[in-house]
Amino acid sequence: MAGSPFDQLLEGVRAALHGRRAVALERVRRIEQALAEYAAALEEEIGREFAREHGLSQPKAAHDKRKAAEALRDAVLGLPELAVVPERAGPEMSARPAENRPPPPRDHVLPIVVVGGTGQRSRLDPELERRLEWIDTTRQGTIAIGNLTQRIRSGRVAALVLLEGLVGHRHSEPLVGAAREAGIPLAYAGKGGRAALDRALGDVLGRLS
């Protein structure tokens, strides 16, 4: 039996709040994951140095400290509070020294990023394919999404195509927000079927040109 309209309203409010909370906590989770990887890389380095100093057998290397540090940096810089402010934001932005400002976008050299699959490459025009960058979230995961979010905000992506049928909500929402903040073309391509993908790519290419 359905609840009263008041109960239904409360349930809708709870669902909306939980959804927003989940998005915010996902940013924290990305940072925590990246921080744990960096800590593991540091511990591994200390163990190798100790083993080298005392003539012990070297422990197996399982972490790259530089990559872990870069992932941590990108996760932190992916926070919306640290997003790059567009030039039109106000006079305080224009007053910044030129050398501290992000370079202006150059659409003809920036990649069009497709998020959600890689199996469609053989169908595409070779010239267009060279410009595309594919991110498969089932293999590359949350760190790749955090990196891409920061690249979008810093003006290093020309356009974004989401295969929303293959990408979870927790991955797609921060990308959509970043694309809208950066003002870059955004299109959806379902599960990446040929017609849907061609339509999405045609859409973003048309807006870029």
Alpha helix (H) ranges present in 61-136? 65-77, 91-94, 126-131
Q: Which CATH architecture fits 107-208?
A: 3-Layer(aba) Sandwich (3.40)
Sketch the domain layout of the chain as residue ranges.
5-81, 107-208
From 163, 160, 165, 167, select the one nearest 138 (Cα to Cα): 167
pLDDT tops 90 at residue 1: no
The percent of residues above 70 in pLDDT, for the chain, comes to 78
As a whole number of angstroms, the distance between CA 132 and CA 129 comes to 5
Side-by-side strand order, sheet with 159-162? 132-135, 112-115, 159-162, 186-188
Tokens of residue 188, six digits:
């959806």
Question: pLDDT tens digits, residue range 39-92?
Answer: 999 998 888 888 888 888 887 878 888 888 888 888 888 777 775 444 444 444
Nearest to 184 by CA among 164, 208, 201: 208
Is residue 58 within 8 Å of residue 48, measured between CB atoms?
yes
How far is 93 from 21, CA to CA, in rounded Å? 31
Taken as a whole, the chain contains a residue count of 209
